[in-house]
Structure 1
Amino acid sequence: MEQLVSYITCEQFTFVFLSPSFSQMLIHTKHELKHNDVP
């Protein structure tokens, strides 16, 4: 059971990681972090 859950989690993570929306979210997060660095 543990292995099955781990496998599904890995698959979901890979899917999310490769999805365009995730890339946009990551870019947006980086932009927000840079914006917050500015005094």
Structure 2
Amino acid sequence: MIKAKRIKIKLIKNRYLNVVQAAVFLYVYVNVKLVNEID
């Protein structure tokens, strides 16, 4: 039971990190695109 709970927390953490990475990637991508269009 404790082991299963730990795995669940790990999965939630991984999903959270993936979302954060995706958000950062999108943010950087949009900023680079905007800078390129301004030049």
Q: State the alpha-carbon separation in 2 of the partners of residues 29 and 35 from structure 1.
A: 10
Structure 2: give runs of 5+ residues left out of the alignment. Answer: 25-39
> 1 or 2 for the larger relative contact order (CA 8 Å, sep ≥6)?
1
Between structures 1 and 2, the one with greater helix share: 2
Shift of 1:25: 0.2
Q: Determine which structure has more spread, i.e. the larger CA radius of gyration.
A: 2
Residues in 2 aligned to 1:19 and 1:38: alpha-carbon distance in whole angstroms: 29
Q: Could you state the TM-score of these two structures normalised by the residue count of structure 2? A: 0.51
CA RMSD of aligned residues (A): 2.0
Matched residues, percent identical? 9
